[in-house]
Amino acid sequence: MDKNIKILVVDDFGTMRKVLRNLLKQSGYENIVEAEDGVSALKVLKGQKVDFVISDWNMPNMSGLELLKAVRADADLSKTPFLMVTAEALQENVVAAVKAGVSNYIVKPFTSEVLNEKIQKIMEKI
């Protein structure tokens, strides 16, 4: 699997972005960009080619779900793999994310093995 893919990590908590970056590096992914909410994530996505999005759900300005809907509604971005990494484990949240076209879903807390497995499963389907 191509480990040079560019991954956008979106989370309003800087430490969580750092945790995700560390876990991704452990799995061999080095090409990582960051955004602190959905609004800044959309700017990154429109300004450069991103191969994979990992986003939190609960964020100010634009939530992960709103970001997902915006990505799926944009012709240029609609096929971008989108992994939701969130503390929102309630059934209604999972259903809403699936309806909006999420590629997969990880509930915090999680291990590097779980993260890597989810990324690989998504990439294998492409």
Partner 1 sequence: MDVRFINAFIDGTIDVLKTMAFIEPRPGKPYLKKETAAQGDVSAIIGLTGDAKGSLALSFSAGSIIKIVSNMLGEDIQEVNADVRDAVGEITNMVSGVSRKCLESQGFNVVAAIPTVVAGKDHTIRHVMGGPSIIIPFETDYGSFVVDVCLG
Residues near partner 1 (CB under 8 A): 12-16, 18-19, 22, 58, 60, 86-91, 107-111
Dihedral (CA of 22, 28, 31, 34) sign: negative
Question: Smaller CB distance to partner 1: residue 4 or 15?
Answer: 15
- CB nearer partner 1, residue 52 or residue 57: 57
Instruction: Say how far apart CA 12 and CA 22 lie, in whole Å.
Output: 17
Q: Nearest approach, Cβ of 71 to partner 1 (angstroms)?
A: 22
User: Cβ closer to partner 1: 86 or 103?
Assistant: 86
Determine how β-strand 32-35 pairs with β-strand 82-86: unpaired
Minimum gap (Å) between residue 15 Cβ and partner 1? 4
* In the complex, minimum distance from the CB of residue 111 to partner 1, in angstroms, rounded to a whole number: 6
Residue 99: strand, helix, or coil? helix
Cα-based angle 121, 108, 56 (whole degrees, multiple of 5): 80
